[in-house]
Structure 1
């Protein structure tokens, strides 16, 4: 058999709905038809994409990997067959936290003024690539080194790092801190979309205790509750104030690069204009040719 777009759309609906019944309703198909389409796709690929052995449907490891390729394939198809519509569809800009920092509002306002025909949609996605690798957005504002196949990145600016501390803790009384000051504390790490890892510390002074969370909100809550301390970019302090969290400079930590990333295959036509505008707003020099 040959794989058609309906197989990809069916699988992506299942992945997004986590239910054969809801996927069938979304696609206006019967549940048996959805099951047959999924089975045919799995047979063609020679891999099980969906685990149906539990009460809650879940993707297998192969299913997660295939979801990214299926999303990219559909996006490429739509670009190929309807380029006129693509020029005017919204440009979806993902971010995992803090967007473009203090430049966020200037970017959104200038884009609306200069490109009213292409709405710029800012979307928060708790993912290391802010939804870019999964095809959920067209471009993404990312921080730190990003290693994902098929992505193009350009550095827009850098941000200093800060320590995030319980507001009533002893370290909050200090005007600034060093990484060694934090090493004796439990360090809260956002392992889904964050950039801080124990490797940020010198090998001889790495934290002995860590606590992992899945998003910025849980990160802030854990610190405010006194469960640990954190390290983030200065824009986090500006855009995510919390009554239970105090931010202090961390001058010995290396600055964090802020990147704009997009897929190298079939990018949104307005991507280059977005990159140029973002560089201009941040005051960054264009990359060398």
Structure 2
């Protein structure tokens, strides 16, 4: 049987909704028809994509791997059929948090001046690759060590780490902090796109309590409410000021690399070299 876009859309709806019922409602189709479509796709691929052993469906390992491929394929199709792309092909720049810090606005303004015919779209995507893996963006600003063989990276700078603490805490009264100062507190960790892990601390001196969050807004709220402390980079205070949060230099944690990343081997957006050049210029001018 020939595979069609509806097979990809059906699979992604099931993956996102978690049940055949909700996915069928979303796609305005019946449950039996959606189940047949999923079986057709699995038969074509020769693998089971969805584990149906529970009421709440779970993706198999093959299903998780195929999800990114399916999302990227549909994103490419949507871009091809977008009538706006015939006038100008935008350069989609993703980031999971903080973008280029205080250089974000200068980057956007200089780009508009130098490249008026190529829109630069800044998109926050709460994902480890800021949407690169799903084809949602063309290039991304990412922090931390990246080891994916599928990505090409260009180092822009290394950002110092900062402690992020409630403004009314004793910690906020100090000029600088060390990792050990944060140990008695619960630590807020962004498990989706953050650069902080418990490996920063010695194994015998790690915080006992972890509050897991999935995006920057949840992370900031946990700290502002006095429920936790956090660790970030020097870009965060420049992008996220908050009256209930204080930022202090962290003296004994290594800096975090900030890179531009894009897909290896895939046709790259022709404006990526110009973005790299401009980003380097702004960093050098700081």
TM-score (norm 2): 0.85
Taking the aligned partners of 1:151 and 1:87, their CA distance within structure 2 comes to 28
Match of residue 89 from structure 2: 89
Deviation of residue 71 (structure 1)?
A: 3.0
Find the aligned partners of 2:126 and 2:78 in 1 and give their Cα distance: 25
SS of residue matched to 2:211: strand
Work out whether 1:21 is the aligned partner of 2:31: no
Q: Give the gaps of 5 or more residues in structure 2.
A: none
The size of the alignment, in residue pairs, is 280
List per-residue Cα deviations over 1:155-179 (Å, max 9, x = no partner).
Answer: 1111111101111111111111111
Residue in 2 that maps onto 1:166: 166
CA offsets per residue over residues 185-219 of structure 1, 9 Å max, x none? 22111111111001112345332322211111111
Shift of residue 283, structure 1, vs aligned partner: 1.9
Contact 2:10 2:23 in 1 (8 A): no
Partner of 2:248, secondary structure, is strand
Report the counterpart of residue 177 of structure 2 in structure 1.
177
User: 1:212-231 alignment to 2 at 5 Å?
Assistant: 212-231=212-231
Aligned to 2:280: 279
Are the counterparts in 1 of residues 75 and 136 from structure 2 also a CA contact under 8 Å? no
SS of the equivalent of 2:99 reads: coil
Confirm whether residue 139 of structure 1 aligns to residue 142 of structure 2: no
Q: Which residue of 1 aligns with 2:269?
A: 268
Residue pair 2:73, 2:135 contacting (<8 A) in 1 also: no
State the shift of 1:132 in Å: 1.2
Q: Deviations over 1:216-248 (max 9, x none)?
A: 111111112221211001111121112211111
Relative to the length of structure 1, the TM-score reads: 0.84
Q: Say which SS state the counterpart of residue 43 (structure 2) adopts.
A: helix
1:38-63 residue CA offsets vs partner (Å, 9 max, x unmatched): 32111222333346677776655433
Residues in 2 aligned to 1:187 and 1:116: alpha-carbon distance in whole angstroms: 44
In the alignment, structure 1 segments of 5+ residues that lack a partner are 285-289
For 2:242, what is the secondary structure of its paired residue? coil
Shifted more, 65-74 versus 143-152: the winner is 65-74
Report how far residue 23 of structure 1 moved: 5.0
- In structure 2, the CA distance between the partners of 1:92 and 1:86, relative to structure 1 (3 Å rule), is farther
Shift of the 9–50 alpha-carbon distance from structure 1 to 2, 3 Å rule, reads: same
The alignment partner of 1:181 has SS state of helix
Change (3 A) 1:86 1:158: farther
The Cα of 1:79 is off from its aligned counterpart by 8.9
Three-state SS of the structure 2 residue aligned to 1:21 is helix
Q: Residue by residue, what CA displacement relative to the aligned partner does 1:109-156 show, whole Å, maximum 9, x if unpaired? A: 111122222211111111111111122211111111123341111111
Q: Secondary structure at the match of 1:142?
A: strand
Distance 1:22 1:136, change over 3 A: farther
The question of whether the paired residues in 2 share the 8 Å contact of 1:87 and 1:118 is answered with no
For 1:104 and 1:119, locate their aligned partners in 2 and report how far apart those are by CA, in whole Å: 15
- 1:287 maps to which residue? none
Counterpart Cα distance in 2 of 1:195 and 1:187: 13
Change (3 A) 1:243 1:77: closer
| Cα distance, 1:282 vs structure 2 | 1.4
1:49 aligned residue = 49
Q: State the superposition RMSD in angstroms.
A: 3.0
Q: 2: distance between equivalents of 1:185 and 1:228? A: 6
